[in-house]
Amino acid sequence: MSRDPELKERWEAVVTFLSTRFADGETLELDAIIYLVGLQELGQLHRKFKKDEKVNLMHIAICRLLEPFGYYEFDYFDDDGWPHYKILEQLPPLRSGEQSVLMKEAIVQYFLEKKVIS
């Protein structure tokens, strides 16, 4: 990510915004940000989630974040209001660092679309 100064700057803006708003200024990690995106996408912000539901929230976030990249497509909402996605294209094999960069790019794009950062 250091090769792209604009991405790095925008990523830091996302982290700062979310850390200030949800973690009393403590720096949120990538997984925590993915979880917050899942909460936002589900829209059930004021309830407690079981461990397996938290995993599902992260799955929702990953699908939503990678949807603009052509990997997933929204399919439907189930009876409990949970969004479901279908796989359009398998993710290529990525090393850990490459996965992180892809997710950070997707998160930055998401928050640009939501007009949280510019």
Q: Which of 39, 41, 42, 43 is nearest to 22 (CA)?
A: 39
Mean pLDDT calculated for residue range 6-16 = 95
Specify whether the CB–CB gap between 105 and 6 falls below 8 A. no
pLDDT tens digits, one per residue of 58-96? 999 999 999 999 999 999 999 999 999 999 999 999 998
The terminus-to-terminus CA distance of the chain in angstroms comes to: 18
Helix, strand, or coil (residue 84): strand
